[in-house]
A = this chain, B = another copy of it.
Amino acid sequence: MTKPLIALAALALAVPAQAKTPAAPPPPAPSLEQIADDALKSDSHAWDFVEGITTEVGQRQAGTEAEARGRAWAVAWLKAKGFRNVADEPYMMPTWVPGEPGSAEIVSPFPQSLAVAPLGDSGSTGPEGITAEVVMFRTVADLQAAPQGSLKGKIAYVSNAMTRTQDGSQYGFAGPTRWVASGIAASKGALATVIKSVGTDLHRNPHTGGTDFPEGVKPTPGGALSNPDAANLERMFARAKGRPITMKLVLTPRFLGETQSGNVVGEIVGRNPSLPPVLLACHLDSWWLGTGAIDDGAGCAIIAAAAKNVSAAGQPLRTIRVLFAGAEETGLFGSAAYSKAHINETIAVGLESDFGADRIWRFDSNFRTSNPALHKKIALAVARFGVSAGTDVAGGGADLNIVRDQKGALVDLQQDGTRYFDLHHTPDDTLDKIDPVQLRQNVAVWTQVVGILANEATSIQTGGPIPAAPPIMTGK
């Protein structure tokens, strides 16, 4: 059915006559360990996926025709690679689009342009823009402390530099600048909000991402300045010595109402398809600015390559299902829709890749105390790839709502995030940022771990017999 299988059949017909002598039995399939080791050195799938989708599709803004082209591309790719039960499962979602490229001009006292991009779910200034005085706040807490109404007719600016961490934990500290500042400023009467990008680089590339407005607060225009531009604005405040700084801001995003999106799924069917499957997740959508290479083309590439690699060691016991979720960036709509549609189909264990393509340095599970033998088995198997066993309780990625809803088993394969926030949600999220050596290490580790999990005959959560009924069904 698939192209590779057809090609192979054609090749078989073309075997010359002297090949009629009795064929030797086929060599045994290589071991999972051998295949994982080989994945460090060569890669037939992961680069092909992420190079292909970033080149042939590019950006895949959630809910748009570009995301739909991404799904069609991914469906064709999975089918060509021999995945079974490939489908694009539709759902409806509220869709926001960024509009024209925005602009932020300082009108006075130091006229010049600052690089800006709108934040997801923020409002529009209209094409004519708004011109207003900028009021600076160092932190979200400072903004929170501003008296009610004090921002009336003003543009709020929130500065809050993000620093670099391997585990990405700084996102929790810097992220609120993007997540809540626009809503707080709007509720205090601000016309619009601009923030310093939640990112660790020094390029003229703003970091977009979603922002939230409290119930009942009308979305105002919200934008992120690139870090060099934010630094420039702050120097302007220092040099203005109290003179007002006036900005003309033009941001024209639009809400399209409900549009169709979808989740792409595909399977490596197991020897016992009645056993709960192993679910590997990523997301297919991206912000419009970049090409969605590290966020999250690489994640889909890694999980699909691992599933294919595991099958090369022989048909696994359990089915391995890949879920290329839609519309993660703008509100986890695909993750929610998948859980809603499939909540009654118990998942054995869920894993997600959505933190770039740099090396995996630690793994965590949420069954370290309930099934220590399996946790230890994985720890021993991944040690040779430089991955240490963590003691955190795995929480799963954004697209694993179904597993969390089922209170199921989770494994987190933690990637090195040191340079992730240089690129996250920027125009710079492009293929060239992926280091093929580190990408292969991801595939090797995923191959090893997924292979163990997909061949696990006992309950992943307990190590005991697999429950007859899905856990989610009992007691409900």
Contacts and interface: CB of A to CB of B under 8 A. Distances in A.
Contact of A228 (B115, B228, B432): B432
Interface string A216-250: 00000000000110011001100100000000000
A222 to B, nearest CB: 21
A113 B432 contact: no
This protein's copies in its complex? 2
A263 to B, nearest CB: 23
Given A204-B427, A430-B204, A432-B202, A110 B56 contact: yes
Given A112-B291, A203-B205, A205-B203, A232 B430 contact: yes
Contacts of A113: 58-59
Given A54-B232, A112-B59, A204 B202 contact: no
A364 interface: no
Nearest to A202: B432
A239 B431 contact: no
Interface string A424-443: 00111011110000000000
A51 interface: yes
Nearest to A112: B58
A344 interface: no
A235 B432 contact: no
A101 interface: yes
Interface in A56-97: 56-59, 66, 69
Given A430-B228, A432-B228, A57 B204 contact: no
A196 to B, nearest CB: 13
B432 A231 contact: yes
Given A51-B235, A204-B205, A57 B110 contact: yes
Question: Most chain-B CB neighbours within 10 Å: which of A109, A115, A232?
Answer: A232
A52 interface: yes
Contact of A239 (B55, B69, B115): B55
Given A101-B101, A203-B203, A203-B205, A55 B232 contact: yes
Contacts of A235: 51, 55, 431
Contacts of A202: 430, 432-433
A428 B110 contact: no
Contacts of A58: 110-113, 232
A157 to B, nearest CB: 15
A336 to B, nearest CB: 28
A157 B109 CA distance: 41
Nearest to A237: B55
A291 B232 contact: yes
B232 A431 contact: yes
Contacts of A236: 55-56
A290 B57 CA distance: 30
A467 B54 CA distance: 67
Contacts of A227: 432
A431 B52 contact: no
A116 to B, nearest CB: 12
A228 B292 CA distance: 13
Nearest to A288: B113
A432 B51 CA distance: 32
A17 to B, nearest CB: 34
Contacts of A55: 110, 232, 235-236, 239
A47 to B, nearest CB: 11
Contacts of A431: 228, 231-232, 235
14 contacts: A54-B232, A55-B110, A56-B236, A59-B112, A66-B112, A101-B101, A112-B291, A203-B428, A204-B205, A227-B432, A228-B428, A228-B430, A228-B431, A232-B291
Interface of A: 51-52, 54-59, 66, 69, 101, 109-113, 115, 202-205, 227-228, 231-232, 235-236, 239, 290-291, 426-428, 430-433
Given A202-B433, A204-B430, A228-B430, 18 more contacts: A51-B235, A54-B232, A55-B235, A56-B109, A56-B239, A57-B112, A58-B111, A58-B112, A59-B113, A66-B112, A101-B101, A203-B205, A204-B428, A228-B431, A231-B431, A232-B291, A232-B430, A235-B431
